[in-house]
């Protein structure tokens, strides 16, 4: 990771040039790290047009990814 930081690496805004899977995406069909994390949690459904079901609204969850330098993929960051 040290060599990435020394070569203009921005840890806040990882571009697609640095990662194997995009961190986020506005395209619903595209794979992203944030969508993978969301799959760990149960869905929050609509109760009616104006309100969510309250089943999971007060539950807290944490997803942790291990990032590593993928030497087999142009030294990009994989999770």
pLDDT for 13-66, tens place per residue?
A: 555 566 667 766 677 777 888 888 888 899 889 999 999 999 888 888 899 988
Q: What pLDDT is recorded for position 75?
A: 83
- At 53-78, the pLDDT tens digits run 998 888 888 999 888 888 888 888 88
Separation CA 56–CA 43 (nearest Å): 8
Of residues 25 and 12, which shows the higher confidence score?
25
pLDDT at 2 over 50: no
Q: What pLDDT is recorded for position 57?
A: 85
Between the alpha carbon of residue 64 and those of residues 28, 53, 61, 67, the distances in Å are 22, 26, 10, 10
């Amino acid at each position: 990771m040290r060599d990435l930081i020394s070569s203009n690496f921005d840890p806040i805004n990882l571009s697609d040039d640095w990662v194997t899977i995009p961190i986020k995406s506005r395209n619903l069909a595209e794979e992203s790290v944030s969508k993978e994390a969301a799959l760990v949690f149960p869905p929050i459904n609509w109760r009616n047009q104006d309100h969510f079901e309250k089943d999971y609204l007060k539950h807290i969850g944490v997803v942790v990814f291990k990032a590593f330098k993928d030497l087999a993929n142009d030294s990009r960051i994989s999770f």
